[in-house]
Amino acid sequence: MAEYDALLQPFTLKHLTIRNRIMSTSHAPGYNDGGMPAEREQLYYEEKAKGGVGLNMFGGSSAVSLDNPSTFGQLDLADDRVIPYLRQMADRFHSHGAAGFCQISHAGRRTRWDIKHWLPSVAPSHIRETEHRVYPKKIEDWDLERIAEDLGQGARRIKESGLDGVEMLFAGSHLALQFFSPAANTRTDEYGGSLENRMRFAFEAIDAVRRQVGEDFILGIRITADEFIANGLSQDDCLEIAVRLAESGKIDYLNIMASQVSDWQGSSLSIPNMSFPVAPYLYLASAIRAAVDIPIFHAGRIPDLATAARAIEEGHLDMVAMTRPHIADPHIVTKLKEGRVDDIRQCVGANYCINRIYVGKEALCIQNPATSREAKMPHIVPPTDGPRKKVVVIGAGVGGLEAARVSALRGHEVVVFEAEDRTGGQVNIAARATWRESLSGIPRWLDQQARKAGAEIRLKTAATAESVMAENPDIVVVATGGAPNKGPIKGIEHAVSSWDILNGKAEPGESVLLFDANGDHHGPSVAEVLSERGSRVEVVTPDRFVGEDVGVTDFAVHYKRLYAKGVVKTSDYHLAEVYPEGNRVVAVLRNAYTDEEEERVVDQVVSEGGIIPREELYEALKPHSRNLGALDLHALVDVRPQALERNPDGKFALYRVGDAVAGRNIHAAIYDSLRLCVVF
């Protein structure tokens, strides 16, 4: 497609020709096996190579030293045992025509001391790092020598594996940036004070790497373009650092990011979620490109091809990174080349992937459950080699739409019953909350793809047991979702639900107590809506703090808005009772630890307690099914066909997915349907 031609042009970096201008930056998805990039990690990255990405970078923050243990799934490049794994990765990339780089780093104080080898973290100065809550050892000259040598050895291993290049991380609040930044470096010796001194270690590390890989091997640096903190590096400071690195003649490209990640606010800025505009930091990368004469790469919420193409066409970048978009859809380039841009599953910026990493879990895409599960889950649904079946899906939320999409792609006849006048289910409610509107892109894509595959979606058509059975189905998938749960609280009938607020069924009161027993986005989102409509809001939770389960890159966004609106946050309290008093209501709060009670007199109580599955239709259909609703969990986990027969007189197989089973999340609902229906 002509408007995207700039993205498909090859790019030559030193001796390497990269087939197009689209790349995926190095990150640490947490799929490694003992620090090694084994099969799961290899298949995840190989899928992007299959999908046409030009440059596949991996190994984000890969550790090279014993005092740099993995805290968020980094690879371990500290010894030669990693070389065979890296070689396998290189072979996979090259077999599909993609280039491959690996990143190395030393995290300095951005790690923990109480894991693996129990060695103290090191940093330029004795300054605590907020995220990892560590007080580092002040780094000594012999530390600097060994770390530089470790980086050199890590680069050697990458070169020996047959990969195409190595990237050093001088951003992300890792050790090199700690030296650069006055916020982390208060030294008065030759490694502190002037910018020349603060860059000394970086050049020593670059020299150590060059000694191991030679002048011909590609070496790039990932840097920040602005720390966004008062006592840190400004845009001008970072521009000067970029110029000095480029003019050294020792590196081949710069990869630009923004912010620092030593605290939650910095992390939310570094990895911008859906609350940010598209390409918020492109101007920073563009300024550096105008000041240096080496190639510039950049990643930072560039979710769509139009934005990516503009970044290349207008000369802001030489290579544009679409990292999270490739987690959502690893086949972006292939679909572009085939003229199927509308089929690209676009990243919505939910940051489910990165937020999981921060709590020690593996990265997963909120809307694509095949990502990282390539060994069992296909990104391209294959047609069935068995008989064509009639599949009835009840409910067109994300779980129902995925069941319809996958079943139709398998070649089955699919009918979807949806009582509402639009598809999307609960996501439509969540998307009404201030900055969460982009979530609506998930059901929009599923709806489009299900219809394109041939599914018949009947809107404003409530299903009954009789109407479902009249379709003579072979399979029935119940995806009816749930209803709002205000909780088993005395007098709760005097409260409204969070859904009532978002749906507009209840007008916000002047003073509102919002009880959040859920802990995820729901409570803070509704508090933002209430406060923006003029309510005085207090959020009460039995958890340690409001939004305890909200991901770290979203947490700061919520809190910034709640503080700006004067929302009061009260933790450690249950809502014990609600009762009317005149034209107001009284909320009785009970301390979670002392059982002491106190009261709030307010205009409105809003209660958020998750959801209760809608089970009535499922229960009505169960007696007529062959399996009586039973699910073979081993077959489900192994992605094998369901074969349970518990009722010989049954007419169809009956299954439930998503919140119709139990309240979970978007990913769970879609994953339920994919692994169930892909073997129909």
d(CA 675, CA 642): 11
The residue-averaged pLDDT of 235-263 equals 97
Amino acid identity of residue 598, one-letter, is E
Residue-wise pLDDT tens digits, 608-637: 999 999 999 999 999 999 999 999 999 999
- DSSP state for residue 45 in the 8-state scheme: H
- What's the pLDDT band for 70 if we cut at 50, 70, 90? confident
pLDDT at residue 71 is higher than 90: no
Q: Are 157 and 214 in contact (CB under 8 A)?
A: no
- What length does the chain have? 680
The pLDDT of residue 114: 78
d(CA 47, CA 373): 11
Q: Are 343 and 449 in contact (CB under 8 A)?
A: yes
Provide the token pair at 238.
Answer: 């970072």
d(CA 659, CA 676): 15
Q: How far is CA 552 from CA 35, 276, 523, 586, in A?
A: 24, 15, 16, 33
- What's the pLDDT band for 277 if we cut at 50, 70, 90? very high
The residue-averaged pLDDT of 596-618 equals 97
The pLDDT of residue 294: 98
Q: Is 413 helix (H, G, I), strand (E, B) or coil?
A: strand
Burial class (CB in 10 A: 0-12, 13-18, 19+), 382: exposed
d(CA 419, CA 140): 68
Q: Is 374 helix (H, G, I), strand (E, B) or coil?
A: coil
pLDDT at residue 1 is higher than 80: no
pLDDT at residue 101 is higher than 90: yes
pLDDT at residue 344 is higher than 90: yes
**Picking from 69-83, 86-100, 159-173, which range would have the lowest pLDDT averaged per residue?**
69-83
Beta pairing, strands 16-18 & 11-13: antiparallel
The pLDDT of residue 110: 86
Residue-wise pLDDT tens digits, 509-554: 999 999 999 999 999 999 999 999 999 999 999 999 999 999 999 9
Q: Are 470 and 417 in contact (CB under 8 A)?
A: no
pLDDT at residue 84 is higher than 90: yes
Residue-wise pLDDT tens digits, 117-134: 888 899 999 988 887 788
Q: What residue has token string 């560039």?
A: 302
Nearest residue to 615 (alpha-carbon basis) of 627, 631, 629, 625 = 629
Q: Are 432 and 502 in contact (CB under 8 A)?
A: yes
| DSSP string computed for 100-168 | EEEEEB--TTSS-SSSTT----EESSS--BTTTTB-PEEP-HHHHHHHHHHHHHHHHHHHHTT-SEEEE
Cα torsion 252, 257, 260, 266 to 10°: value is: -170
d(CA 427, CA 398): 8
Residue 57, H or E segment: strand 55-58
pLDDT at residue 424 is higher than 90: yes
Q: What residue has token string 């089970």?
A: 615
Give φ, ψ of 122 to 5 degrees.
Answer: -125, 155
Q: Are 295 and 256 in contact (CB under 8 A)?
A: no
The residue-averaged pLDDT of 180-187 equals 96
The pLDDT of residue 509: 97
Nearest residue to 394 (alpha-carbon basis) of 407, 381, 385 = 407
| DSSP string computed for 251-273 | -SEEEEE-S--SSHHHHHHHS--
The pLDDT of residue 624: 98
- What's the pLDDT band for 115 if we cut at 50, 70, 90? confident
d(CA 177, CA 174): 6
d(CA 251, CA 167): 10
Q: Please list, in sequence order, all residues whose beta carbon lies within 8 angstroms of the beta carbon of residue 382, skipping any fewer than 6 positions away.
A: 410
d(CA 52, CA 20): 9
Provide the token pair at 145.
Answer: 């020598």
Q: How far is CA 524 from CA 265, 350, 514, 517, 572, in A?
A: 16, 15, 9, 12, 16
Residue-wise pLDDT tens digits, 118-174: 888 999 999 888 877 888 899 999 999 999 999 999 999 999 999 999 999 999 999
The pLDDT of residue 371: 98
Q: Is 225 helix (H, G, I), strand (E, B) or coil?
A: coil
Buried b (16+ CB within 10 A) or exposed e, 497-525: bbbbbbeeebebbeebbbbbbbbbbbbbb
- For all residues of the chain together, what is the average pLDDT? 96
The pLDDT of residue 134: 85
